Amino acid sequence: FGADLGAEKFIDIKCRYAGIVPSAVVIVATVRALKMHGGVSKTELAAENIAALEKGFENLKKHIENIKKFGLPAVVSINKFSTDTDAEISRLMELCRLEGVEASICEVWEKGGEGGIDLAQKVIEACEKENNFHFLYDVNDSIKAKIEKIAKQIYGAKGVVYTAKAEKEIQRLEELGLDKYPICMAKTQYSLSD
């Protein structure tokens, strides 16, 4: 799952210029990834660990919140591994329900198309829900306002601090009349977890 960098760029840049209005979003997650976000090392992922799953769910919860900020319905696709326990899957399904999103166990790797029928049905249902799609920012906002909206609303930053070099570059872009375009922000893979 990566409803920060990828989804934000797709929605605020690609959808804006292509005239695309998504019907719904599928956020892909695994119990393994959530346990790693909860502090479990790769060598311990096979062991059941509900506490780590719950702690790691905070990361997925933020991705769910991000998609909701665009006014889109979401479904969480849980890619099931053979080491996932019934208790872990059940708890993850419950945590998703508490956030107001449907979750589906996806087993297409093991079962082919049959393993994705429930997910497909839930995506169809999500597509039929009310869609209040909107962009995170207006391209006519200032460069700094757009950067601040992305940083605060998508990444959870408290604020943005600019280097002198960045300030100078922003001023140059404004002078060239290039300040009314979307922002294409780069980040590290640790932007939410650090």
Indicate the DSSP class of residue 136.
Answer: S
The per-residue DSSP string of 83-120 comes to: T--HHHHHHHHHHHHHTT-EEEEE-HHHHGGGGGHHHH
pTM above 0.85, yes or no: yes
Neighbouring residues of 30: CB distance < 8 A, sequence distance ≥ 6:
78, 79, 80, 81, 84
Write down the pLDDT at residue 76: 97
At 100, list the tokens.
Answer: 């107001």
pLDDT value for 48:
96
Taking Cα atoms as reference points, which of 52, 65, 54 lies closest to residue 8? 65
Mean pLDDT of 11-32: 95
Kindly state the average pLDDT of the residues 61-67.
94
Q: What is the pLDDT, as a whole number, of residue 5?
A: 62
Q: Evaluate whether 140 touches 180 at the Cβ level (below 8 Å).
A: yes
Report H helices in 4-107. Answer: 5-9, 16-18, 31-37, 50-69, 86-98
Residues 75-103: tens digit of each pLDDT: 999 999 999 999 999 999 999 999 999 99
The three-state secondary structure class of 26 is: strand
Neighbours of 11 (CB within 10 A): 26
User: Could you tell me if residue 100 is left (phi over 0), alpha (psi between -120 and 50 degrees) or otherwise beta?
Assistant: left
Q: How far apart are the first and last CA of the chain?
A: 16
Average pLDDT over residues 150-162: 92
SS (H, E, C) 117-135: HHHHHHHHHHHCCCCCCCC
